[in-house]
Amino acid sequence: MLYLVGLGLADETDITVKGLEIVKKASRVYLEAYTSILLVDQSVLETYYGRSIVIADREMVESNSDEILRDAQTEDVAFLVVGDPFGATTHTDLVLRARELAIPVAAVPNASILSGIGAAGLQLYNFGQTVSMVFFTDSWRPASFYDRIKENRAIGLHTLVLLDIKVKEQSLENLARGRRVYEPPRYMTVGQCAQQMLEIEEEKGEGVYSPDSLAIGAARVGGKEQKFVAGTLRELCDADEVMGPPLHSLVLLGRRTHELEHEFVRDFALNKETWDRIWKAEYGKQ
């Protein structure tokens, strides 16, 4: 059996009892380590689980899945995923490959950012499409997220923005030269995300959002040092010091924000007077 085991959002104790039992009995244990990270090191997981763990980077998962699936017809293999196996990141390709090899597959769900963001005080059924924000470069500024936000905003729904992480990435030069030299890990911040959003709005000019649009920065959701900071996109551009270390996410509020949501989120506001003024003028009419 191939087991896809959700680890939850924060540390070694977030794994479910069912998931831990699978990890302890599996022949091999892999940790998918390129779409998200836990807030603890691999060694902490290994001590708590009582098992050695093989890090499965992007190259292994996408190009060498046969190694992960080796002997899984006759042995139990555990593939650990931060959050939920089919939450913010799905591993459809791995499951389809297992099916081709007649390997049974089972998933053990857990909390993901899609559910954990509810701790910010927004009602989960008021969220629209989730979008991703990648690091811009001088020659690459993808803006597909903009149209998805536009669709969400048109019907008044919140938008969860998942922020880019770069783990074991190669520079274009090293990639072209075939050198296995990897860049230091990078994690996008709420400030970087807000800035890039405003840059794209300035380019598009469609008024989907503005520097005064209300948003929530979220950091280390589900962890002991979970942090939410609410403000305008302009304010969040300069809020990284308040937000603290990764991982970060951002939520752009929809215009159908309920009064109870406003009251809950207001406690996180960088400037409560500004928050109240904009909410009353732009959001409190619904």
Q: Residues comprising the binding site for S-adenosyl-L-methionine? A: 9, 84, 87, 112-113, 163, 221, 248
- Ranges of beta strands (E only) in the chain are 2-6, 28-32, 54-56, 77-81, 105-108, 131-133, 159-163, 165-166, 186-187, 214-219, 227-232, 248-252
Note the helical H segments in 138-189: 144-154, 172-177
User: Can you tell me the distance from the alpha carbon of 228 to that of 233, in angstroms, rounded to the nearest whole number?
Assistant: 14
Helix (H) or strand (E) holding 261: helix 259-266
Instruction: Show binding-site residues.
Output: 9, 84, 87, 112-113, 163, 221, 248
Q: Report the SS3 class of residue 266.
A: helix
Q: Report the amino acid identity of residue 134.
A: V
Cα 112 to Cα 9, 81, 109, distances in angstroms:
6, 10, 9
Q: Supply the DSSP string of 65-89, one letter for each residue.
A: HHHHHTTTTTS-EEEEESB-TTSSS
- Backbone torsions φ then ψ of 44, nearest 5 degrees: -65, -40
Q: Report the SS3 class of residue 186.
A: strand
| Tokens standing for residue 79 | 């593939």
